[in-house]
Amino acid sequence: MPTEHPARPASRARPERHASRPSRGGPVTLLSLGHSCVDVYQGAVAALVPYFVAERAYTYAAASGLVLAASLLSSVVQPLFGALTDRRALPWLLPVSTLVGGAGVALVGISDSYALAFAAIALSGIGVAAYHPEGARAARAAAGDSHTAMGWYALGGNLGFATAPLLVTAVVATGGLAASPLLVLPALLGAVLCATALRRAAPTGRGAGAGGATGTGGMPEAGESDWRSFLKLSGAVVCRSIVFVSLSTFVSLYVRQRTGGGPASGTAALTVLYVGGAVGTVAGGRLAARHGRVRVVQGAYALSVFAVAGVVFVPGPPVYLFVALTSAGLYVPFSLHITLGQDYLPTRVGTASGVTLGLTVSVGGLASPLVGALADATSLRTALAPLIALPALGLLLLRGLPEPGARPAAAGSGEDR
């Protein structure tokens, strides 16, 4: 695998601009909207935590255990789905997994049993896990020669995260947890969008192959795998994941404590965390087109150290500013993690997607109950303080990470850019 790729040739700049915004009704747009619908269910789990604490008197550890339920099976299952999609394309997974993800969250409030709630959220986690490797492969095939187009696809998922607290509040704050079956509606819409995207993409041949090994379907041409760089990148994503999932789980409760506000103040903080991420994702793609993916990712991790410290230590309303900065720092590298991982393992695109979107991200859910247990024993502020060190550790792992070089345009679509 090539090491440093200096400046992008001017001849490559024009395709990046043309591909920067998906065409209305095109496969990337539809996949992005479908991604939004499925990622509602990742954001919904954290958004439900305050309602479990209030309505069912769960401890912090018990409530964060539900976040664990969404992550536990996903952390194992998602790379397996990624390896499976390396062997053959499974486009039908997109609508089916969206429905499964929605059904799990919809079932979470129909019983007072903690075990059933845990099982329902675990089911949702499996659905979300099954979606992402195939979704990332299909989006990369449809996006063309552009970081930014992949940024738009990732934006869809982040918008799903951002709208989850508002959707959960609208449904659960008015009808209680028993109204959770209404939360299945985004899944129904998402399944339709994914099916439509696949139907429109089929005539072009994109997404028809298993991706990565042959250079067909817009995927990178086969090349030498750089496992060392991939593992370093994966370690950094683990650090980012623990910070993000822990803040997603507890920032609503924490900001209510720091500002003395009611439920609305907590919902606002969670919304800022997610909406800021939506903006950061698009910015990340544009910045990478100018400065390179590795440099942008390193800068984002550096920003996160400062921003997380502000969330933990700055009192009162200014905490919202630091929540927004944290969101930007955590989300600017989001789509870049995906494409870097795919380019470090060009013959195992599904596996790379499953790890960067699944295994490493899900580790955050595995760590969340530990943060909850520490908060029960001490305080939320004490439990969140160690999160400051994790982006710094991620930055150390990213030092010396090579920028994958451009592949000859004649060999494929140049998708790695």
pLDDT at res. 16: 43
pLDDT at res. 294: 95
pLDDT band, residue 398 (cuts 50/70/90): very high
pLDDT tens string 234-254: 999 999 989 998 998 899 889
* pLDDT score of 273 more than 80: yes
The architecture CATH gives domain 24-211+220-403: Up-down Bundle (1.20)
pLDDT at res. 7: 39
Three-state DSSP class for 91? Answer: coil
Closest CA to 159 of 282, 321, 245: 282
* pLDDT score of 10 more than 60: no
pLDDT at res. 344: 92
* pLDDT score of 201 more than 60: yes
pTM of the predicted structure, to 2 decimals: 0.68
**132 touches 357 (CB < 8 A):** yes
194/303 Cα distance (integer angstroms): 35
221/416 Cα distance (integer angstroms): 9
165/223 Cα distance (integer angstroms): 42
Name, of 21-35, 130-144, 212-226, the range with top average pLDDT. Answer: 130-144
* pLDDT score of 289 more than 80: yes
Name the residue ranges covered by the structural domains of the chain: 24-211+220-403
258/359 Cα distance (integer angstroms): 33
Least confident of 162-166, 327-331, 382-386: 162-166
pLDDT tens string 93-125: 899 999 999 999 999 988 888 889 899 998 998
pLDDT at res. 318: 92
pLDDT at res. 360: 67
DSSP code string of 200-240: HHGGGTTT-S-SSSSS-TTPPPP----HHHHHHHHHHHHHH
CA angle 23-27-32, nearest 5°?
85
pLDDT tens string 328-348: 999 899 889 988 988 898 888
